[in-house]
Structure 1
């Protein structure tokens, strides 16, 4: 058991630790979800290409919004957690002046692209959907490179997302309002091992 698991980790201690990790020679991407300290894998080239592809689609749909990569968010009930989604769709000025860990108010959608690591199942498929729903983020888009599926979580009720639509790569899926985009997932086949 690690020191972080044995002691109580407060929000302030986590944020100090996260700032220290960023200054380290090998940058770590730390998160604090569901009361647990986690390390997120550094993205690979295909991961980055997926985010670029999605950014282009979001900008074409509404140029007043941006898909912000790696913006830290305070999530979960009463903001007891910190997550760094792969991307957050929000109006352009949403995060101005907020710093490294922003309030999720105004975020229309968060995006996670699975990494090829052992924590993906727990982190991206279990803990984050619950945490994002608790935070009231309207849409959670999971691009699952392990299963070659896209999952669109919507209608947060403060505990979970009431609707989850799963489609295999190659199908078109609707990202519901407030996002309002039809997403053709065919290109994702090019960026999955």
Structure 2
């Protein structure tokens, strides 16, 4: 059996979108590297981390909003579909964009790892590649297992050229176009 890749996907993108629409109430599906992935349903600590970041973004950049769970077209040629835990954009950016929006105006995407076996591959390998390929300027990974925050930035040729990691409790800069420095001490309260 040939493994699924973006060259040999499990199904076409139209079929995936139909499946994702039907499964929307019971599962959160993504489609990266030609494979269907199921995102774990977030637990309370996951939600608290996203809410914490949403508050920080609103305090420092009130003209922007961190939209949770907005579907984005991802990967080269927009053939993937990702549902980040947060997408930072100007307010009302996603109006009339549909379930799977183009990522062109997205300033930052955020993922908070979940305690599942796919988190390493999906959030630490596949997502940075997919988001960089679309040109999203900043990818923030809140890694519960490592108790660390990683900022990927400066996308070029489908890769992020800069990657900075700090443990929970340290300050970390979200570079332009986000332009926020986060004090991550509070994340220690929600670490697993």
TM interval, shorter chain, is over 0.9
**Aligned pairs for 1:21-60 within 5 A:** 21-23=23-25, 27-60=26-59
| Alpha-carbon displacement from aligned partner over 1:62-89 (angstroms, at most 9, x marks no partner) | 1111000000000011101000000000
User: Separation in 1 of the partners of 2:169 and 2:10?
Assistant: 45
| Count of residues in Structure 1 that have an aligned counterpart in Structure 2 | 188
Question: Residue 176 of structure 1 aligns with which residue?
Answer: 175
The answer to whether the 8 Å contact 2:10/2:36 transfers is no
The answer to whether the 8 Å contact 1:174/1:183 transfers is yes
In structure 1, list runs of 5 or more residues that go unmatched. none
The answer to whether the 8 Å contact 1:143/1:149 transfers is yes
TM-superposed CA distance for 1:159, in Å, is: 1.4
TM-superposed CA distance for 1:42, in Å, is: 0.3
The answer to whether the 8 Å contact 2:49/2:190 transfers is yes
Secondary structure of 2:62's aligned partner? coil
The answer to whether the 8 Å contact 1:72/1:100 transfers is yes
Secondary structure of 2:24's aligned partner? helix
User: Separation in 2 of the partners of 1:142 and 1:171?
Assistant: 14
Question: Residue 17 of structure 1 aligns with which residue?
Answer: 19
User: Separation in 1 of the partners of 2:9 and 2:72?
Assistant: 23
The answer to whether the 8 Å contact 1:135/1:158 transfers is no
Q: TM-score, normalised by structure 1?
A: 0.94
Q: TM-score, normalised by structure 2?
A: 0.94
- Is residue 2:124 matched to residue 1:122? no
User: Separation in 1 of the partners of 2:15 and 2:185?
Assistant: 43
In structure 2, list runs of 5 or more residues that go unmatched. none
